[in-house]
Structure 1
Amino acid sequence: MYGFVSLEVSPLLAYDTQATVKQAKALHAQANRPNLFIKIPGTREGLPAIEEAIFAGVPVNVTLLFSTEQYQAAADAYLKGLERRVAAGLLPDIRSVASLFVSRWDKAVMDKVPSALRNTLGLAVSQQAYRAYRDVMDSNRFQRLASLGARSQRLLFASTGN
C-alpha cells in the first residue's frame, strides 16, 4: 500500500488553464505512480484546469481553499470532470482531494477577537465545509457517478497549525 504524495504545478501558470493542464499531465506521466496527486489551486482561474485534469485522468489535490464556497466550486469542477469522462465512455475512477486551509482564518483574526474566540474561526469554517462535503457526497449527482465507479473527492483539512 502506498501513501499519497502531491506535486505542484508552477504558480507561474496559475492564470493559464491550458498551460496548467499541460504541466499537470506531464508531471503525472513523468512520475508514472498510482499514488501521485497533482496540486492545482482552487482559485477561479484554477477551476477549469481541475475539471480538465480530472477529465484527462490526472488525480488532483485542489489547494488554496479557504471557504465553503471555494470547496463547493472545487467539488463542482471535480464532478464536471467525472461527468465528462462518463459521457466520453471513460471510467470515472479518478481520485481527488480538496485541501481546506484552516489556520489561516485564525491567524487573520488573532488580534481582532477576544481571547476566548481565538482559534475558533478555522474550526467553524471547517465544520461548514464538512457539511457541504456531506451534501455533495450524498447528492444524486455524485451517487450516479459513484454507481459507475467514481470515488468521493476527499475533504482534507490542511494548514491546521497555528
Structure 2
Amino acid sequence: MKNLIILIILFLLFNCNKNTSKENIELKDVLNEKQTNEYVSYKDDKFDFNDKTLKENLNNAIYKGDTLAYNRACKQYAINGRYKEFLYYAIVMAEKNNYGNAYWDISNILSAEEDSPLFDKYKSKYGNYSILKAYELGQRGAKSSMNYVYTEKGIPIPSSSSVYCSEKASSKNVR
C-alpha cells in the first residue's frame, strides 16, 4: 500500500512538471511572438514605430504644420522601406495643412509602376488629384511631371478640382 501511494505521488509530480514545461514553452512562444511584432522596438536596423523622435516629428507636422518635421518623418519611413505606410500621415498633412510635398507624397505612394500590369487598370483618382494639387501649390517634382505629361504634348493642365470633384459628382448621380 505504501508503495502504491509513493508511486501515485511520483506519477503526479512528473505529470505536473510536464504541464509546467508545456506552459513554459507556450509562454516562450508568446514572448518570441511579441518580440517579432512590428510595433515593438527592434534590434538590428528594423523600423521602430514607437520611436519617440518619429512620434514627435509626426505630431509637430500634423498639429503645428511643421514642414521640416514632416520631411524628417517621411524620410525615416522611406529609408526603412515603409513609404506606403506613410500614406495616412501624408493625407492628414496635405488636407489639414495644405502642404504641397504631402500631396506629392500621396501621388507617389498611390501611383503604380509604369511597367506594372496594373498601371492602366488601377490608376488612383485621388493620386491624380494629389499630383495636380501639388502642382497648383508649386511643388517642384509635380511641376516637372506636369510639364512632361501635359505641356510638352500640348495638352492643357487640368485643375485638381476638375479631376477629383467631377468624379465625386458623377458618383452621386449614379446612386
TM-score (normalizing by structure 1): 0.30
**RCO higher in 1 or 2 (8 Å CA, sep ≥ 6)?**
1
Larger Rg: 2
Higher helix residue share: 2
Higher strand residue share: 1
